Structure 1
Amino acid sequence: MNRSLKTILDNLYEARSQAHLNNDPLSFCHRYQDPKDQEVAGLIAASFAYGNVKIILRNLERIFSAIGPEPRRFVERFEPRSGLALFSGFKHRFNDSRDLCALLLAVRQMLTEADTIESFFLKGFAPDTAGIAQGMEAFAARILAMDYAPVFGTGGIPKDSYFPFFFPSPAGGSACKRLCMYLRWMVRPADGIDLGIWQGLSPAQLIIPVDAHIHRIGRYLGFTQRRQADWKAAQEITAALALLDPQDPVKYDFSICHLGISEGCGKSGRNACLSCDIAGICSGITKN
């Protein structure tokens, strides 16, 4: 274990701030006190957490302004016809109002079947399984097999819908960044950032959510050499972090990611490197 690396990353973890949280989709979960509301808000927020962060926050603001103060109650009473009118014209990159309403309908069906999203997830997860991939694959498959006729009409999910984009599977090689991020929010202990709502999974089972920031910085730190931000890269980065904290390897995700989101890594060239907390151990400083 590289003790210098662990010290630097532990210090980075301790330096997380409210400013970082405010610049993160997870902030929408913190608007609610009830864990049942946080769980629902988390899946919605994570589903749209791709693309430019300012656009993500703007579009999530529209969604949650319409949903109101009780996300779970809103979803339990959700009717696709009125939802399509409420969210008319909504667009987040290639997801539209139909995809959003299908997502809300999916959450409603999960709650009807299992009472909580956690219980729905755990129905497809074998506790004695070493990794979490099997549970994620089952979760995605069961959601995509639901009935979405009230949103799309008969004939299943149409080919021009990007609703399935919300629920990729490790089996297809995807890093499943947004689902991994949602699981981190729900499973990791409450620490002012993550929520610690779910008790049926262990933080040690989590896989780091790999986006462009995590992938780039993971390569700079030698955690992976893979050129694609795929499931194997996520596994390699997680395994490297597990050497630093085997019980909670993804604790470093938020801090490392915000080196890119909030601190400018990858955007400002060498100027960002000069003040970066990991400059002394990062090979990327020689590439800018």
Structure 2
Amino acid sequence: MNKTELKEFLDEKVLQYNHPKFIESDPIQIPHLFSKKEDIEISAFLTATISWGNRKMIINNATKLMKLLDNAPYDFVLNHTNKDLEHLNSFVHRTFNHIDLQQFIKSTQHIYKNHGGLEESLSVKNNSKTYQKAIHEFKLKFFEINHQQRTQKHVSDPLKNSAAKRINMFLRWMVRNDKTGVDFGIWKTHNPANLSCPLDVHSGNVARKLKLLKRKQNDWKALEELDFNLRKMDKNDPVKYDFALFGLGVFEKF
């Protein structure tokens, strides 16, 4: 495939997968249960945080998690008591357990009370073109309050060369307005041109087969290479191609 053919092929796959039907089998269905901005972004942040492993298990555990938060995540985060936190003791998703969840609730409250909320605390500053520094600085703010060391691993740091797949997926959900009702586009102060593809095994393997990525590891350096090539196809909305790469990898075993 030449460059024009590749772009046409991927644009077609974006149209195929960036479709409301996609919601039915994807963790993005959890924030779609809510209508209030803060409920959407908090449920999305927590769901994205546990989005690794089997998708069915992710959706089941994220559904359980919302029930534990009384299906009112913003109210729970802002107004929880210590007794409320104890009710979370039954929660576990792989290595993310109740200690991590309780910390995430406390740290998210800290973000809303002291840093203007998730939208403000993840915004790209100083003419930066990616979220690399924004995510690093968000992690620092998130763990400013007293916490156990173990929980830090659940927020990736791109300055330590992590591809930060889950937080980049969360950012795609919040920032990108896809006009089809899959991604939310509720963070109007953010620019979709700055987004990076949530790089995982599936999208990475497909990107390598399509010669969009040469680097072997799925790390931030690989993400920069992939970003560069996706921006050549659409500089204003590069991560729309996440739907194509993911769909080809997961649904078509490309």
Q: Same fold (TM over 0.5)?
A: yes
2:156 matches 1:168: yes
List structure 1 segments (4+ residues) > 6 angstroms apart after TM superposition: none
Cα distance in 1 for residues equivalent to 2:83 and 2:248: 42
Please give the root-mean-square deviation of Cα atoms over the aligned residues, in Å: 1.7
Tell me if 1:226 matches 2:232.
no
Q: Does structure 1 conserve the Cα–Cα contact (< 8 Å) formed by 2:48 and 2:170?
A: yes
1:80 CA displacement? 4.1
- What whole-Å deviation, never above 9, does each CA across 1:171-204 have from its counterpart, x for those lacking one? 1111000111111111111431111111222111
List aligned pairs for 1:109-188, cutoff 5 A.
109-122=110-123, 125-148=124-147, 157-158=148-149, 161=150, 163-188=151-176
1:64-96 alpha-carbon deviations (Å, 9 max, x no partner): 122234221121112344223x22232111111
1:26 aligns to 2:25 (yes or no): no
Task: Answer yes or no: is the 8 Å Cα contact 2:44–2:170 preserved in 1.
Answer: yes
Match of 2:73 among 53, 71, 87: 71
CA distance in 2, matches of 1:141, 1:243: 32
Kindly provide the amino acid, as one letter, of the partner of residue 253 in structure 1: D
Using CA pairs under 8 Å that are at least 6 residues apart, name the structure with larger relative contact order, 1 or 2: 2
- How many angstroms apart in 2 are the aligned matches of 1:103 and 1:54? 22
CA distance in 1, matches of 2:12, 2:42: 31
Secondary structure in 2 matching 1:50: coil
Distance 1:256 1:20 in 2: 14
Look up the equivalent residue of 2:136 and give its one-letter code.
E
Q: Secondary structure at the match of 1:88?
A: helix
Q: 1:203 and 1:240 mapped to 2: Cα distance?
A: 16
> SS in structure 2 opposite 1:201?
coil
Q: What is the aligned counterpart of 2:46 among 44, 47, 62? A: 44
Higher helix share: 2
Question: Between Structure 1 and Structure 2, how many residues are aligned?
Answer: 251
Offset at 1:99? 0.4
Map Cα deviations across residues 88-135 of structure 1 (whole Å, 9 max, x no partner).
23211111111011111111111111342111223xx42412332111
Q: Once the two structures are aligned, what percentage of the paired residues are identical?
A: 27
TM-score (norm 2): 0.92
* Structure 2 unaligned spans of 5+: none
Shift of 1:19: 3.4
Residue 252 of structure 1 pairs with residue 241 of structure 2: yes
Q: Does 2:3 correspond to 1:2?
A: yes
Contact 2:96 2:154 in 1 (8 A): no
1:243 aligned counterpart, secondary structure:
helix
Counting only pairs closer than 5 Å after superposition, residues 96-111 of structure 1 correspond to structure 2 as 96-111=97-112
Larger radius of gyration: 1
Q: Give the distance between the partners of 2:106 and 2:221, measured in 1 at CA.
A: 32
User: What CA distance in whole angstroms lies between the structure 2 residues aligned with 1:132 and 1:94?
Assistant: 26
